[in-house]
A and B are shown apart, each in its own frame.
Chain A
Amino acid sequence: MFPWRKASGPLSSKETAKERLRLILVHDRAGCTPQLLENLKEDMLTVISKYMEVDEGGMEIRLSTAERQAVLEANIPVRTLHRPRCAVGCKE
Chain B
Amino acid sequence: MGEVCVITSGKGGVGKTTATANLGMGLALLGKRVALVDADIGLRNLDVILGLENRIVYDLVDVAEGYCRPRQALIKDKRVDGVYLLPAAQTRDKTAVSPDQMRGVCQELAQEFDYVLVDCPAGIEQGFRNAVGAADRAIVVTTPEVASVRDADRVIGLLEAMETSPPLLLINRVRGEMVRRGDMMSIEDMVEVLATDVLGVIPEDEYIIVSSNRGEPAVLMSSSRAGTAFRLVCRRLLGEDVKLPRLPEQNGWWGRLRRLIGVGSQ
Interface residues of A (CB under 8 A from B): 12-15, 17-18, 20-22, 24-25, 28-29, 67-68
Complex CA distance for A48 and B193, rounded to whole angstroms: 34
**CB-based contact A29/B157 at 8 Å:** yes
Expressed in whole angstroms, the minimum distance between the Cβ of B108 and any Cβ of chain A is 35
Expressed in whole angstroms, the minimum distance between the Cβ of A31 and any Cβ of chain B is 10
**CB-based contact B195/A67 at 8 Å:** yes
Interface residues of B (CB under 8 A from A): 144-146, 149-150, 153-154, 157, 179, 181-186, 189, 192-193, 195, 250
**CB-based contact B185/A17 at 8 Å:** yes
Expressed in whole angstroms, the minimum distance between the Cβ of B142 and any Cβ of chain A is 11
User: What residues of B have a CB within 8 angstroms of the CB of A13 in the complex?
Assistant: 182-183
**CB-based contact A21/B183 at 8 Å:** no
**CB-based contact A28/B150 at 8 Å:** yes
CB-CB nearest 8 A-B residue pairs: A12-B182, A13-B183, A14-B185, A25-B153, A68-B195, A17-B146, A21-B193, A14-B182
Given A21-B150, A25-B153, A29-B157, are A15 and B182 neighbors across the interface (CB < 8 Å)? yes
**CB-based contact A28/B192 at 8 Å:** no
**CB-based contact A12/B183 at 8 Å:** yes
Complex CA distance for A18 and B150, rounded to whole angstroms: 11
**CB-based contact B182/A29 at 8 Å:** no
Which listed residue (B144, B146, B250) contacts A12, Cβ 8 A?
B250
**CB-based contact B186/A14 at 8 Å:** yes
Expressed in whole angstroms, the minimum distance between the Cβ of A29 and any Cβ of chain B is 6
**CB-based contact B154/A21 at 8 Å:** no
Expressed in whole angstroms, the minimum distance between the Cβ of B54 and any Cβ of chain A is 42
A-B contact pairs, 21 of them (CB 8 A): A12-B183, A13-B182, A13-B183, A14-B144, A14-B185, A14-B186, A14-B189, A15-B182, A17-B145, A17-B146, A17-B185, A18-B185, A18-B189, A20-B146, A21-B150, A21-B193, A25-B153, A28-B150, A29-B157, A67-B195, A68-B195
Given A12-B250, A15-B182, are A21 and B157 neighbors across the interface (CB < 8 Å)? no
Which listed residue (B150, B184, B195) contacts A24, Cβ 8 A?
B150
Expressed in whole angstroms, the minimum distance between the Cβ of B177 and any Cβ of chain A is 13
**CB-based contact B182/A25 at 8 Å:** no
Expressed in whole angstroms, the minimum distance between the Cβ of A16 and any Cβ of chain B is 9
Complex CA distance for A67 and B156, rounded to whole angstroms: 13
**CB-based contact B184/A14 at 8 Å:** yes
User: What residues of B have a CB within 8 angstroms of the CB of A20 in the complex?
Assistant: 146
Complex CA distance for A22 and B146, rounded to whole angstroms: 10
Complex CA distance for A37 and B246, rounded to whole angstroms: 41
User: What residues of B have a CB within 8 angstroms of the CB of A12 in the complex?
Assistant: 181-183, 250
**CB-based contact B186/A25 at 8 Å:** no
Residue of A nearest to B189 (CB): A18
**CB-based contact A22/B193 at 8 Å:** yes
Residue of A nearest to B256 (CB): A8
Complex CA distance for A17 and B149, rounded to whole angstroms: 10
**CB-based contact B183/A28 at 8 Å:** no
User: What residues of A have a CB within 8 angstroms of the CB of B189 in the complex?
Assistant: 14, 18
Given A12-B250, A24-B150, list of 14 further CB < 8 A pairs? A13-B182, A14-B144, A15-B182, A17-B146, A18-B185, A18-B189, A18-B192, A18-B193, A21-B149, A25-B153, A28-B150, A28-B153, A28-B154, A68-B195
